[in-house]
Amino acid sequence: MSGYRLPAPAGIWVERARSVRFEFNGRRLSGLRGDTLASALIANGVRLVGRSFKLHRPRGIWSCGLEEPSSLVDVGSGARHTANVRATLLPLYEGLSARSVNCWPGVGFDLGALTGLFAALMPAGFYYKTFKWPSWRWYEWAIRRMAGMGRAPLEADADRYEEVAGRADVLVVGAGITGLAAAVAAARAGADTMLLSRGERTGGGLAWRDNAAVRELTARALALGVRVLTNTVAFGIYDHNLVCACETLIADGAAAPQRLRERLWKIRARSVIAATGAFERPLLFPDNDRPGVMLAGAAEKYARAFGVACGRRAVMVAGCDNAYAVAAGLSAAGVEIAALIDRRGPSQASEAARFRVVTSASVAGIAGGRAVRACTVASERGGRTERIDCDLILNAGGFAPAVHLHTQAGGRLRWLEEGAMFVPDGTAPGVVSVGACAGAFVRAAAVSHAAQAGEALAAGRDAPPAPLGGVGRCSPAAPSRRFRGRHFVDLQNDVSMGDLALAARENYRSVEHLKRYTTTGMGTDQGKTSNINALAVLGELTGQSPGAVGTTRFRPPFAPVSLGAIAGRRVGNLYRPLKHLAAHDWHAAHGALFESFGDWCRPAAYPRDGESLEAAAQREARAVRASAGLLDGSPLGKLEVFGADAARFLDLMYVGTMSTLAPGQARYGVLLNENGTLVDDGIVACLGPGHYWVNTTSAGAERTTGAFEEWLQCELTDLEVLVTPVTSRWANVTVAGPRAWEWLARAGFDAALAPTAMKHMRLRDSTLRGVPLRILRASFSGELGYEVNLPAEEAAALLEQLWSLAPEVGGVLYGIEALQILRVEKGFIHIGTDTDGTTLPGDVGLARGLGRKGANFVGRRSLDRPAARDADRLQLVGLTPADGRTVLPVGAQIAAHRPPATAEGRVTSSFMSPELGFPVALGLLTRGARRAGELLRIYHLGQEIEVRVVRLPFIDPEGARVHG
Amino acid sequence: MADAAGIAVAVVRPLHAATLRYFEPGGPFATAAANLVGTPLPAPLTALQSGSEVILAWLRPTETLLLSETDAPLRELGERLANVAGGHLVDLTGGVEALRLHGARVSELLDRLGSVAMALPLNGARRGRLADVPVLALSVRTGEVWLAVERSYARHLCAWIDATLADFAPSMAHEPILGDHEAHG
């Protein structure tokens, strides 16, 4: 081949004096500053750039923009490796290293191309039909190896991304001549206006024609205060005119550690003007995918903008008048036009052309596998064929308006027969289309309409209808005469006209079904140059007009968006918001190993030198049983409930009766939903008449608050009750163990809090050196326990004071892992871990006294349903391994025999018990309450373990330890 | 304290916080509270500052957040409202953190915290999702914005702002808002 650099003045975007070195598939090449990778490859004579997805056919550069289906490359390396970058969009930079994808060992000699030998056996949907016998799994590994294009990076992304909120009265998407006109008009009418340009420059298709009107409009827009974002692709429009756009700041693969790579814009606009232009629509002919076949408009852009000729001798295959102008332009730039093959009959344009024109003809074949050498031209009516030597075949079938934003916003489309294109049918809610994307191709009329639309939307008026037309009569995509060879409709997914015909024969007549069966339009290009042709061919095959066939739904994203841009700052410690303890730094200073538990970042344990998390948890749990431990329980949910009807309300909310609590008394409560299912548990304490303190689970604070508010606002509106969440206001320092009180006494706590003076499940307000305390005797460990609630800002000071006294009582710090061990030894459930969305109070032993409760409560009626009394319900049990040493895997299934088998239950919590010296576990088991003593088997990832069902709790069945 | 090109962010300490809840606008509790602070309670989506330097910010029709850098105003208010029917005051000190932002690029920073609707005028109060956590943004002084956030989420919000400020002035090292120890502990 054939591509070469044209002499100036061609190439207004490149700086001829500045050479840029780069690598492609290991070859060292050079281009010019201002080149894209694609233009530089063409200038270096590279034609074979990639391989197709299914058949590994050789592919070259097909377009000059984001519609590119073929020239995908992997760029960069290590943490800056980016897969499947379109060479047509990648700015050339010094040191760029790009590799072809989907080929091995190389793009020139690709073993995958052997699949082409069996192409006839691989029509659309062949894998659905063939890879099912004797089992899909026989083929799965190979299919998975072959699937996908490019290689995903193995290292974490080294670059930074951000998300920015934007607002505008009028947002104009597309900075071509009509977008500029609309933006200028809107801004002049006083609207706060934003303008998004896909490219580095404004002007769209005129930008590379050095158009004076574009320069003038751009200057006016800037002078009027229009905010112009370049290199910004609007990829989706969502409810209430929220437009998401991705701004590229640094090219893929390039290293710029001090700067952001991409910025995701979320722009809320009062009105949106879509000025997104149109894509060139190719014609179909045999072997139309060969390197050297490309969109005509792209070749013109390469010549004018980058100063690159895509070939020396070109044949133009035309279906529209625009092809003549493009051919003339290329001819003027020095590319020989061997012939223009017009599918249509003679016309004014064909008569006036200064190069050879063959009308009513089509390309019937192409010579050359990896590069075009010649083509065969045949009349559409039959007869003799003619061979024309050429190295470039330009394809100009017409245009497909970029109606994506319009349809994403809910707009409808209609088929315009003359231009063979879908255009917006009226406006979409909040979105007005102008210019080529509206089907308006007469420049003056389109610019005038765009200005009117901008002015109208700025003033809150409706925009006038778009002046349709201007491309003239375009021919259908498919030749009227059938030629031998594959006519590719979708180049990226290797979907041919034959595949569409097969789908139609197999009755995939809905366009949505056709798309999924053949995969047309499902590549990274989302069918920008193939969808309309696929619809037209389906229409022809099924005897319908393309308008009757309709289109598939255009969904975001309009163009690929990197995961980095979507994630923005949500990586590392910002991956998701975690709540932090008021005393977080104190715990860190004392060796805490933090983990996320629910929404909280909490100390899991406090490992000593060289100690594992598990060993630390065992040591801590053992020490709590032997002496005492100090836990930061601040995440426990805390609510204050006030009001004359507070007691009655809590009776309605909880299974337990709370209205009989005297001031200072506390009671365990279980919260159900309307289905009777457990959703939370906690402790309710009476602080005084009409004033209650409610502890929820750590994860259940918001859920419980929401449930309380919902019932109060929607159902129990006559109750006088006020609910205030105070979880962050109060910290909770828990001291547990037989020497817990001794520890608190040494710290100066009031003697009235001693176990002899204050019973279990009592709450007292107190002070310590002026700090208000709210102390609850309660226990989630089974040991004597004090939950000291205090203002959050005082938590670290109290922890420090108690910790300084720890040596005197043999006290330890313990984390959430030790707490889990302690509560499992006592058989205490953790809602959500030992329960699921079906668990009722009776399933976990919490139905005692339920029948005696006089007051109604949420979920009560559901407990009387037959399903609630089903004898086969899953019920809480204790489990121990028969061998006395295997810690049971959480989630392991209990079954009658090796899987596949019906599960009888599962292990829900499991730990080695430091107190007992053997593993203990909780589980849910069918009819579990009646199966104590049974030997069962559990299965987990091929492991089989014999377990014994035991009664709970594992320790201290009399509950004596809680009294110290 | 963090200071990047065109913007400074600091944690407001000490901060005293309380909330007036469950009152009827114009009812006896709201009237009593307004008389005590010397200003009408804020209208929807607004915030204001009383003569006693208490910031009052509208949260919802029946709730107003009170912030003060001194203890006395809120303590006295709590004592005087204790026996007024039709609402109640809950002390949230320690449960809320506030960041004070000022500088020419405050609105740019707000735009980068993730909410699409955070256009904040002077005397505005907007509750939204910033840095993926619920935040009340308010402005009662020209060029200054406060972000009130549940204390347990303050560390996350500060870390997000620190990361954003690093991109505002990449060549300029800045102190983390919470200080090295607090931010990375």
Return the residue in A258, A575, A580, A600 with the most chain B beta carbons within 10 A, the one to mutate for interface testing: A580
Half-sphere exposure of A454 (CA within 13 A, CB side): 33
Q: Which residues of A549-570 are buried (b: 16+ CB within 10 A; e: fewer)?
A: bbbbebeebbbebbebbeebbb
Is the CB of residue A167 less than 8 Å away from at least one CB of chain B? yes
Is the CB of residue B121 less than 8 Å away from at least one CB of chain A? no
Phi, psi for A296 (deg, rounded to 5): -65, -45
Which residue in A has a C-alpha nearest to residue B17's C-alpha?
A729
Strands A431-433 and A260-274: parallel
Q: CB of A273 within 8 A of CB of A454?
A: yes
Q: Indicate the residue of A242, A729, A794 with minimum beta-carbon distance to B95.
A: A729
Query: Taking 90 as the threshold, does the pLDDT of residue B86 lie above it?
Result: no
Q: Are A167 and B119 inside 8 Å of each other by CB?
A: yes
* C-beta neighbour count of A216 within 10 angstroms: 12
Q: Are B22 and A722 inside 8 Å of each other by CB?
A: yes
Place B172 in a pLDDT band, splitting at 50, 70 and 90: low
Cα–Cα distance, A392 to A387 (Å, whole number): 14
Q: CB of A632 within 8 A of CB of A731?
A: yes
A313 exposure class (CB count in 10 Å sphere: 0-12, 13-18, 19+): middle
Q: CB of A254 within 8 A of CB of A93?
A: yes
Low-confidence ranges of chain A (pLDDT < 50): 1
Query: Taking 70 as the threshold, does the pLDDT of residue B1 lie above it?
Result: no
Cite the DSSP H helix spans in chain B: 28-37, 72-81, 106-111, 151-168, 179-184
Average pLDDT for B24-51: 94
Q: What is residue B184's predicted lDDT score, i.e. its pLDDT?
A: 37
Q: CB of A775 within 8 A of CB of A763?
A: yes
Q: What is residue A1's predicted lDDT score, i.e. its pLDDT?
A: 46
B137-171, pLDDT tens digit by residue?
A: 999 999 899 999 999 999 999 999 999 998 887 76
Cα–Cα distance, A422 to A445 (Å, whole number): 19
Residues in A touching B134 (Cβ below 8 Å): none
Q: Are B96 and A728 inside 8 Å of each other by CB?
A: yes
Q: Which of A876, A889, A871, A875 is nearest to A937 (CA)?
A: A889
Q: Are A574 and B93 inside 8 Å of each other by CB?
A: no
Domain membership of residue B27 as a residue range: 1-185
Distance from CA of A964 to the nearest CA of B (A): 33
Is the CB of residue A792 less than 8 Å away from at least one CB of chain B? yes
Return the residue in B116, B129, B156 with the most chain A beta carbons within 10 A, the one to mutate for interface testing: B116
- Tell me which H or E stretch contains A329: helix A322-333
Q: Which of A948, A943, A918 is nearest to A932 (CA)?
A: A948
Query: Taking 50 as the threshold, does the pLDDT of residue B182 lie above it?
Result: no
Is the CB of residue A722 less than 8 Å away from at least one CB of chain B? yes
Q: Indicate the residue of A160, A642, A729 with minimum beta-carbon distance to B94.
A: A729
Q: Indicate the residue of A165, A259, A642 with minimum beta-carbon distance to B116.
A: A165
* C-beta neighbour count of B62 within 10 angstroms: 16
Is the CB of residue B75 less than 8 Å away from at least one CB of chain A? no
Q: Indicate the residue of A258, A266, A568 with minimum beta-carbon distance to B116.
A: A266
Domain count, chain B: 1
Tokens standing for residue A797: 């000071």
* C-beta neighbour count of A94 within 10 angstroms: 12
Is the CB of residue B132 less than 8 Å away from at least one CB of chain A? yes
Q: Are B93 and A791 inside 8 Å of each other by CB?
A: yes
Residues 90-119 of B with CB under 8 A from A: 90-96, 110-112, 114-119
Q: CB of B120 within 8 A of CB of B54?
A: no
Q: How far is CA B64 from CA A820, A841, B23, B47, B122, in A?
A: 40, 39, 9, 9, 18
Q: Are B185 and A584 inside 8 Å of each other by CB?
A: yes
pTM for this entry: 0.91
Q: How far is CA A664 from CA A685, A686, A689, A758, B83, in A?
A: 7, 6, 11, 10, 22
Q: What is residue A367's predicted lDDT score, i.e. its pLDDT?
A: 96
Q: Are B88 and A582 inside 8 Å of each other by CB?
A: no
Distance from CA of A675 to the nearest CA of B (A): 30
* C-beta neighbour count of A770 within 10 angstroms: 6
Residues in A touching B89 (Cβ below 8 Å): none
Is the CB of residue A201 less than 8 Å away from at least one CB of chain B? no
Cis peptide before A577 (omega within 30 of 0): no
Is the CB of residue A571 less than 8 Å away from at least one CB of chain B? no
Which residue in B has a C-alpha nearest to residue A790's C-alpha?
B94
Q: Indicate the residue of A600, A722, A730 with minimum beta-carbon distance to B88.
A: A722
Half-sphere exposure of B24 (CA within 13 A, CB side): 6
Cα–Cα distance, A674 to A652 (Å, whole number): 12
Residues in B touching A568 (Cβ below 8 Å): 114
A80-111, pLDDT tens digit by residue?
A: 999 999 999 999 999 999 999 999 899 999 98
Strands B7-11 and B47-49: unpaired
β-pair partners for A736: A629, A785
Q: Which of A93, A115, A109, A74 is nearest to A21 (CA)?
A: A93
Q: Across chain A, which distance is largest between two alpha carbons, in Å?
A: 112
Is the CB of residue B13 less than 8 Å away from at least one CB of chain A? no
| Position A671, amino acid | L
Distance from CA of B114 to the nearest CA of A (A): 6
Is the CB of residue A760 less than 8 Å away from at least one CB of chain B? no
Query: What ipTM did this prediction achieve?
Result: 0.92
Cα–Cα distance, A921 to A881 (Å, whole number): 9
Q: Are A729 and B170 inside 8 Å of each other by CB?
A: no
| Residues A8, A10, A16, A19, CA torsion sign | negative
Q: Are B112 and A166 inside 8 Å of each other by CB?
A: no
Q: Are A728 and B171 inside 8 Å of each other by CB?
A: no
Kindly report the three-state secondary structure assignment for every residue of A819-853: HHHHHHHCCCCCCCCCCCCCCCHHHHCCCCCCCCC
Q: Are B132 and A570 inside 8 Å of each other by CB?
A: yes
Q: Are B152 and A793 inside 8 Å of each other by CB?
A: no
Cα A771–Cα A776–Cα A778 angle in degrees, nearest 5 = 145
Task: Give, rounded to a whole angstrom, the gap between the first and last alpha carbons of chain B.
Answer: 16
Is the CB of residue A573 less than 8 Å away from at least one CB of chain B? yes
Q: Indicate the residue of B94, B133, B164 with minimum beta-carbon distance to A577.
A: B133
Which residue in B has a C-alpha nearest to residue A730's C-alpha?
B95
Half-sphere exposure of A297 (CA within 13 A, CB side): 24
Task: Give, rounded to a whole angstrom, the gap between the first and last alpha carbons of chain A.
Answer: 90
Is the CB of residue B163 less than 8 Å away from at least one CB of chain A? yes
Tokens standing for residue A606: 């406090």
B37-46, pLDDT tens digit by residue?
A: 999 999 999 9
Which residue in B has a C-alpha nearest to residue A593's C-alpha?
B185
Q: What is residue A276's predicted lDDT score, i.e. its pLDDT?
A: 98
Tokens standing for residue A646: 């507070």
Which residue in A has a C-alpha nearest to residue B158's C-alpha?
A574
CATH of the domain at B51: 3.30.1360.120
Q: Which of B40, B77, B42 is nearest to B63 (CA)?
A: B42
Distance from CA of B70 to the nearest CA of A (A): 15
Q: Are A724 and B91 inside 8 Å of each other by CB?
A: no
β-pair partners for A5: A308
Q: CB of A256 within 8 A of CB of A250?
A: yes
Q: Please give the interface size between A and B, counted as residue pairs whose CB atoms are below 8 Å apart.
A: 107
Return the residue in A579, A600, A709, A720 with the most chain B beta carbons within 10 A, the one to mutate for interface testing: A579
Residues in B touching A728 (Cβ below 8 Å): 92, 94-96, 150-152
pLDDT, averaged across chain A: 94
Q: How far is CA A626 from the centre of its chain?
A: 50
Q: What is residue B116's predicted lDDT score, i.e. its pLDDT?
A: 65
At residue B46, the 3 state secondary structure works out as: strand
Is the CB of residue B64 less than 8 Å away from at least one CB of chain A? no
Q: Which of B154, B156, B176 is nearest to B165 (CA)?
A: B176
Is the CB of residue A793 less than 8 Å away from at least one CB of chain B? yes
Q: Indicate the residue of A163, A167, A579 with minimum beta-carbon distance to B114.
A: A163
Cα A5–Cα A11–Cα A13 angle in degrees, nearest 5 = 130
Cα–Cα distance, A767 to A532 (Å, whole number): 77
